[in-house]
Amino acid sequence: MVARTFLVRHDDSTFTVDYDTDDGFEVFQFQLFSLTSIPPDEQKIVGEDNDRIVSDDSDLAAVSEKLQLVSITSEEARKPEKQEETTSSTTGAGNFDAGTSVMSDEELARMLQAEEEALLLQQYVAGDNRAHFEEKVRPHISKVLLYEDPVRQEAARKTVPLDNLEEKALVSLAKEGNFKPSKVEEDHAFLLQLLFWFKRSFSWVNAPPCDGCGNETTAQGRGDALPSEIQYGATIVELYRCNSCSRVTRFPRYNDPLKLVETRTGRCGEWANCFTLYCRAFGYESRLVLDFTDHVWTECYSEALGRWMHLDPGEAIYDRPLLYEKGWGKKLNYVIAIAKDGVYDVTKRYTRKWNEVLSRRAITTESSVVSVLTSITKECRRNCTSQVLSILEERDNIEREALERDLRSTDDAPISLPGRQSGDKQWRIARSEFGTDSLSSSSCTVRICSDEHVTKIYNAFSSILHKFVEDSLTASKGVEVLKILRATVVDLKKLPYKKRRASLKPNSVVGTSLVHQLLPSFKELLNALSLKSERDSNGILSVCLAGDPVQTALALPVALHALDELISDLSKCDNFSKGSLSFPLLRLNRICSGAVLASGEELPFGIATAAFDGTRMSKWEEPNGAKGCWIMYKLSANMQELVAYELMSANDAPERDPMDWVVEGSNDGGLRWHVLDERRSEMFDKRFRRKTYNVKSTGFLSNMFRFRFLAVRDVKSTSRLQVGSIDLYAKQN
């Protein structure tokens, strides 16, 4: 540990920053974010003495104590117009300088030298089998042209729960604070939901179950394809004998995506083939990507990113092109993207070891590879108009430049990529594609919590419970009222998100008159859910949308889980009275809308803000947090005194539950920390167990809080920590 004090100049101000080098560079960036409001990914930190850029690779124990902080966004805005034009024309995918970490000059020189040597060696190693290379690529052209068939596209669209995926896409954007997304943003989010849905709806086949009794089968080799199988491109048919009844089951390897939409089974070839059809069916520019080392996946052009994006439907992983080399340990050679308008060598997108890859590209020379692909691409484009050709050629040039930059990028350095998850374990081990089981990041971005609706829902129960006391309802009758509200929420969740309407249905305990009597107390909760109540001519009460349906979609799961907990808590109240209306039955003054940073997170579903979204459907997961990790929360407004907090266990794996932790507060944006609470040997006795803690050290106003988790429940059996939710409660004014 080295304690440093830095003098950081930004604009006309100078900040004193105390820093412990053991905390890591991202903590230092978060401290600067707290002081200057410049997000870490927009920070450029330079030593004033030598103009050297300070980065994650720098030794903060040795750099100059005088630093200058510049906002990359502001710096870009100040560049001359001519330079801006040059930047936009060469990066293609957006602000490369701001968003991409590149290797040092020394590293680049070593890489270029190794590449030059590999190219020289390849001239002697590579064969002259141009025809064989072409034979591996050309047959896939007819396959991708099937994706353009309107009949096949319509068959694919009919199987998709469109409304459900649209809702999930919009909710995912809303969780990031984007309630008014552009069409481009919405399309990007929908594509990701399409990927996740496809993963859930398509089945992987190791060995098909017996057609007769459904029991396990054993491979028996191959058989001749039947005419009905050949009709859908199944030139290969695998045979399996039942281990119980000895019946032979056929597994045709269909190549026609129309048939795959029906069967919804297969291995990576079928998965990628069918998913690429789905992408085209919804209008995305798409490619089938062929890896000569025996894998297939999809690429789609993302208007939101301004570039091609990798999607692997079998793994449900997107935009992680180093998955195969870094996660699976593949020794790549040729990766060819095949589309209706051409074929492309995209190998450089999927490697950071180009010189090693070159040594394995032995089918034919590099010039022959370029020649073959260029020739096929010209054939694919022979009927294109000059305007379309111009657009395609410009995109080709942009992509070539991007592929060269990808080789020099270090953006994925903090990302831990998983081994292969699809397929039988022994099969994956035999293919040397078995690795870790998670996609995670040890260098997290600062995320903003879009959770004001959670606080509003918690606060809304106050008027309902006060009305129960005012009208002298017993706890048991109050529980029945809450069950009516819960049933209404469940009914609303089942409906299309743009057409939600459900009745408030009385039951045998709570009659219509009592529901009408209590209705005014429901108003605050309905407002929090962007709902309103209506009464028809027959006196039947219903609840319907009152505003943005996305707000309702975001809030309904929170309300459902909050009602479950309130019903449980109220049912345990022996003497329900005004004195019962206190914490934790009432969870008032919950802190919200802050910024969050963590020591690590699971991507894409176990991110840090998942701990603050108010639902049981998510969790924050730290893949390397079993022996120690942290999560920090920066307030969006004034100082607050933390008086209580709640932690909830996640959905599974009790060995990952936090057991020992320290809660700290800071009144200077994270420069110095004050211990607020400390717990040891805490146990969560079941899943989704919410535990409430009153802060032991009160009276300290903070603008930032930090949980330092020291150990999990069973540190010997896991490397992970997970938390279902964290709720922070401030002192009421």
pLDDT for the residue numbered 51: 65
Q: Is the pLDDT of residue 584 over 90?
A: yes
Percent of the chain with pLDDT over 70: 87
Mean pLDDT calculated for residue range 345-350: 96
Instruction: Please report the domains of the chain, with CATH numbers, ordered by start residue.
Output: 3-71 (3.10.20.90), 128-151+267-425 (3.10.620.30), 451-580 (no CATH), 590-730 (2.60.120.260)
Three-class DSSP labels, 265-294: EECHHHHHHHHHHHHHHCCCCEEEEEECCC
Q: Is the pLDDT of residue 445 over 90?
A: no
CA dihedral of 166, 169, 173, 174, whole degrees rounded to 10: 60
Q: What is the DSSP string of 554-574?
A: HHHHHHHHHHHHHHHHHHT-S
Mean pLDDT calculated for residue range 429-449: 72
CA dihedral of 439, 441, 444, 445, whole degrees rounded to 10: -50
Residue 407 near residue 351 (C-beta atoms within 8 A): yes
Q: Is the pLDDT of residue 435 over 90?
A: no
pLDDT for the residue numbered 92: 29
Confidence of residue 537 (pLDDT cuts 50, 70, 90): confident
- As annotated, the active-site residues are 268, 295, 312
Mean pLDDT calculated for residue range 623-639: 93
Q: Is the pLDDT of residue 80 over 50?
A: no
Residue 588 or residue 11, greater confidence = 588
pLDDT for the residue numbered 34: 67
Other beta carbons within 10 Å of 429: 12
**Average pLDDT along the chain:** 88
Lowest-pLDDT choice from 40-54, 388-402, 497-511, 640-654: 40-54
pLDDT for the residue numbered 94: 29
pLDDT for the residue numbered 263: 96
Confidence of residue 178 (pLDDT cuts 50, 70, 90): very high
pLDDT for the residue numbered 424: 74
CA distance 227 to 234: 9
Contacts of 166 (CB under 8 A, 6+ apart): 190, 497
pLDDT for the residue numbered 78: 46
Lowest-pLDDT choice from 144-148, 326-330, 537-541, 700-704: 537-541
Chain segment 181-216, per-residue pLDDT in tens: 999 999 999 999 999 999 999 999 999 999 999 999
Confidence of residue 95 (pLDDT cuts 50, 70, 90): very low
First to last CA, the chain: 40
Q: Is the pLDDT of residue 286 over 60?
A: yes
Q: Rounded to an integer, what is the distance from CA 377 to the centroid of its chain?
A: 34
Mean pLDDT calculated for residue range 461-476: 96
What predicted TM-score, i.e. pTM, was given to this entire model? 0.83
Chain segment 122-173, per-residue pLDDT in tens: 565 566 789 999 999 999 999 999 999 999 999 999 999 999 999 999 999 9
CA distance 179 to 199: 27
Residue 315 or residue 98, greater confidence = 315
Residue 651 near residue 724 (C-beta atoms within 8 A): yes
Other beta carbons within 10 Å of 334: 20
Chain segment 384-428, per-residue pLDDT in tens: 999 999 999 999 999 999 998 888 776 565 666 677 777 777 767
67: helix, strand or coil:
strand
Mean pLDDT calculated for residue range 91-116: 49
pLDDT for the residue numbered 105: 58
